[in-house]
Amino acid sequence: MEKFKIVVCDHIHEEGLNLLRSDDQIEMIFAADMDKTALLDVVATADVAITRSSTDVDDKFIQAARSKLKAVVRAGVGVDNVDIPGCSKEGIIVMNVPTANTIAAVELTMTHMLSCMRMFPYSHDHLKNQRIWKREKWYGYELKGKKLGVIGFGNIGSRVGIRSKAFEMEVIAYDPYIHSSKATDVGAKYTTNFQDILDCDIITIHTPKNKETVGMIGAEEIA
């Protein structure tokens, strides 16, 4: 029986690779370190391609793979580097893993907020490189009582909102694709007025990269 051929185009966790290696019905090809030409040659023989951010599933990729490829699996959330209409035209299914890095992204967001508000990067640099510690210069600000504007209240944004409420912040959610109750049920305020977000002390963005969201926040909005 012919094995199911899966090409791994980008680096993924070793546990994931081991799962593929351990399946007797799968022939796994690790192609993360191949150049683009060699990768396309391998993809042409594969049933499934697993990608991350480094591999663009563009027209060249699709044309090389279309005779056999059945699916492109994005090992992550975003699919902005995948030509979904092009894949659909050739009958190639595109899949992602919507919750793969949800908690990691949420915790990183909270880390950035705390780090910026309490001026950790600046105080650390001051102490490490200048060997001077002036505590009064780096007091920073508390999160408590601050307004947090969350653009995109999905898997990540909503969890950021929940954790921010624990810091006693006022959370304002902007997301035209959810019901208002998704925000209000966790104690956040739901708004359809983008100016409410711009009036916040902190803004965090958790949306796909597409025509609607690129340039959503620019110099004019920040000013």
24-51 pLDDT, tens digit each: 999 999 999 999 999 999 999 999 999 9
Of 156, 3, 4, 6, the residue nearest 73 (C-alpha): 6
Residue 90 confidence class, pLDDT cut points 50, 70, 90: very high
Please report how the helices 102-117 and 120-130 are oriented relative to each other, as an axis angle in degrees rounded to 10: 60
Instruction: Determine the average pLDDT of the residues in 146-173.
Output: 97
Count Cβ neighbours within 10 Å for each residue of 9-19 and write b for 16 or more, e otherwise. Answer: bbebeeeebee
Neighbours of 88 (CB within 10 A): 11
pLDDT exceeds 90 at position 221: no
Query: Which residue ranges make up each domain of the chain?
Result: 4-96, 102-222
Q: Which fold has domain 102-222?
A: Rossmann fold (3.40.50)
Shared fold status for 4-96 and 102-222: yes
CATH architecture of 4-96: 3-Layer(aba) Sandwich (3.40)
pTM: 0.77
